[in-house]
A and B are shown apart, each in its own frame.
Chain A
Amino acid sequence: MENRSFYNEILTEHNMRPDYKHDIENPDYELEGVNPSCGDDIILKLKVDDNGIITDGAFTGDGCAISQASADIMLGIIIGKSKDEALKYGDIFFRMIKGEATEDEIDSLEEASVLRDISHMPARVKAHPGGDVRG
C-alpha cells in the first residue's frame, strides 16, 4: 500500500486533473447534489440538443476524490449520448456502487468501472450520491 496510490490511478488522475470541471453558460439542465455529511456541493450542468443528445456537460464544486472522479468519468461517458442512454448508464453506476450490477454492465461503464471497489466501502456508498450519512 505504502508507495502505491490508495485509490486506483485512474481515479486519482481524474480527481487531480479532471477533464470536465468547469462552468458552462446557458445549460439546459442544472442539478445540485449536496452531501449532508460534509456539506459538499457539486453542481452538474448539461446541454441537450433538440434530438435529446447531450452535447456538452461539466461540473463545479468540492468533493472527495470518489465524487470528483465519478462526476468526471461519467461526464466523459454520457457526452454525445442520448438522455435515455445517459440515464441507463447512471442506473448501472448506482447499482455498481451498491454491488448489484453484472460484470457485463460494469464493463459497459469503461473507465467508471474502477469505481466498483467503493461497493466494498459501505460508508462511502452511503455518503455518496443519494446517501444519508449524518454529521
Chain B
Amino acid sequence: MPDYKKDFPLLVKEPTIYLDNAATSQKPECVLEAEKGFYVNHNANPLRGFYPLSMEATDIYENARKKVQQFINAKSEREIIFTRNTTESINLVAYSYGLSNIKKGDEIVVSIMEHHSNMLPWQMVARNTGAELKYLECEADGSVSEETIEKVITDKTKLVACGHVSNVLGRVNPIDKIIKRAHDYGAVVVIDAAQSAPHMGIDVSAMDADFLAFSGHKMFGPMGIGVLYGKEKLLNAMPPFLTGGEMIESVTREGAKYAELPHKFEAGTVNAAGAAGLAAAIDFIEKIGFDVMEEREAALTAMAMEGLKAIPHVKILGSENPSEHTGIITFVIDDVHPHDVSAILEADGIDVRAGHHCAQPLLAHLGVRSATRASIMYYNTEEEIKALIDSAATVRKRMGYGE
C-alpha cells in the first residue's frame, strides 16, 4: 500500500494514531501551502480594490468558488456561498429562508439523526414562527423506511432537514427518496453533507437538493471555510442573513440595494486564504480519487468492525454491514463509560472521540447516553486499526472487570 501519510506533515511528525477524522481531517501540505501562499503572495482585501493585488486576491477567491461549483456539480457559481462552516451555512438558511417562508401551521421535518447543527436552527425557526417540528425517525440500524418518510412528510411540510451521512452511524441516508417526497409536496430540503463531502462525490444537480452544506476542515481543507449550496431561484428571493460591507450595491440614508448572488450572503471581509486552501483540498481529493479513498476506507472499516465485534461486551451502533458506515464506527463497551474507554485508548496513543457527538436526540433514540467513536480516513493503516482493536480488547480488564 502506498504511504498516504507522507502528504500530511502532522501525520509524518506525530506518531499518534488519529482516528477522529469525522471531527476534522488532517491537512495535506498542498492545502497548507495554498493558504500560506495567499498571504505571502496575494494578500489584499478581495472584492474591494481595483489595484492588481486586490484583483489577484479576488481571482483566487472566485476561482475557489468555481472549483467548488464543479466539485458538487452546481449549475452556477452564484449558487455557491462561502461561510465559516456547516453550522453557519445551515443557520443562514434557517434565519434567512426559514424565518421568512415558514408560518404558523406549517411543519418542519428534521431527521432524528441530525447533528445539533442541523437541529437547533430548526427548533429556533419553529419557536419563532409557531410552526410544528416533526422528527423523521430511524431504526436501530440507522435505516429509514419509505413508510416513515411518507408518514412524516405531508402537504403541511414546508421544509425537511436531513443529513446525507450521520456523524454517529455513518450510514448514507435515502436522501433521493426524501427529496422526491418533499418536492411532491412543495417542501424544500436542506442536506447536511458535512460527513459525506469528505468521502464521496456529490452531485447537487442530480440529487436535486434545495440547499446543501459542508465544512472545508472535514475534507482536508482549512478550518474557517465552509460552503452553502442553494438553488439560485431560492437564494435570489431570500433576504440577506448578515448585513454590512461587501454585500451591497449602494447604500443611502434610508437603506441599501443588496449585491447580486453570491455576494449578497457574504457580508464583511471574506476568508480568501481559506477558500484558496479549500480549492487546494478539492484538487488533492481529485488527484487521489474518491474511488481509491473509498476502497481503502471500506477495507479498514470492515477490518475494524470485524475485530471490535469479536470482543465480548463491545457493541457497534448502526448497521451490521461495514459498507454502511462511511468509516464511522461508534461503539459502547458494557459497564465502561465512553470517557474511560477513550482515556484508555488515549493512553495507548489512539485518538478517538467520546461523548454524545452533538447528537443527543439520536443517542437517546438509540437508548445510549454516550459512546466512543473511531472514524477512519484513507490515510489510516491496517496497523493502526489493529492497535485500536487490541487496545479496545483490554478495556474491561483495565477497568477492573473480569473480561
Residues on A facing B (Cβ under 8 Å): 1-7, 9, 12-13, 15-16, 37-40, 62-66, 68, 121, 124, 127, 133, 135
Query: How far apart are B361's CB and chain A's nearest CB, in angstroms?
Result: 11
Q: Is the CB of A6 within 8 A of B369?
A: no
Smallest CB-CB separation from A4: which chain B residue? B398
From DSSP, what is the main secondary structure of chain B's interface residues? mixed
Given contacts A6-B344, A39-B369, A127-B339, contact A13 B400 (CB under 8 A): yes
Q: Is the CB of A6 within 8 A of B343?
A: yes
Chain A CB within 8 A of B401 CB: yes
Smallest CB-CB separation from B356: which chain A residue? A39
8 Å CB contact of A121 from B343, B355, B369, B400: B343
Q: Which chain B residues lie closer than 8 Å to A63 at the CB level? A: 337
Chain A CB within 8 A of B358 CB: yes
Residues on B facing A (Cβ under 8 Å): 335-340, 343-344, 347, 354-358, 360, 363, 369-370, 394-395, 397-401
Complex Cα distance, B244 from A112, in Å, reads: 55
Q: Which chain A residues lie closer than 8 Å to B363 at the CB level? A: 39
Q: Is the CB of B399 within 8 A of A5?
A: yes
Smallest CB-CB separation from B354: which chain A residue? A38
Given contacts A39-B360, A121-B343, A135-B357, contact A62 B399 (CB under 8 A): no
From DSSP, what is the main secondary structure of chain A's interface residues? loop
Complex Cα distance, B399 from A29, in Å, reads: 32
Complex Cα distance, B370 from A5, in Å, reads: 23
Query: How far apart are B353's CB and chain A's nearest CB, in angstroms?
Result: 9
Which A-B residue pairs are the 5 nearest by beta carbons?
Answer: A12-B400, A64-B339, A6-B398, A64-B337, A38-B370
Q: Is the CB of A7 within 8 A of B356?
A: no
Complex Cα distance, B369 from A68, in Å, reads: 15
Complex Cα distance, B399 from A78, in Å, reads: 26
Q: Which chain B residues lie closer than 8 Å to A13 at the CB level? A: 400
Q: Is the CB of A38 within 8 A of B355?
A: yes
Query: How far apart are B89's CB and chain A's nearest CB, in angstroms?
Result: 19
Q: Is the CB of B358 within 8 A of A135?
A: yes
Query: How far apart are B334's CB and chain A's nearest CB, in angstroms?
Result: 12
Complex Cα distance, B393 from A3, in Å, reads: 12
Smallest CB-CB separation from B348: which chain A residue? A1
Complex Cα distance, B349 from A1, in Å, reads: 13
Given contacts A38-B355, A63-B337, contact A9 B400 (CB under 8 A): yes
- Can you report 29 A-B residue pairs in the complex whose CB atoms are below 8 A from each other? A2-B394, A5-B398, A5-B399, A5-B400, A6-B344, A6-B395, A7-B340, A12-B400, A13-B400, A15-B399, A37-B339, A37-B355, A38-B337, A38-B369, A39-B355, A39-B356, A39-B360, A39-B363, A39-B370, A40-B369, A62-B337, A64-B337, A65-B340, A66-B339, A66-B340, A124-B339, A124-B343, A133-B355, A135-B357
Complex Cα distance, B401 from A13, in Å, reads: 10
Q: Is the CB of A38 within 8 A of B356?
A: yes
Complex Cα distance, B357 from A25, in Å, reads: 35
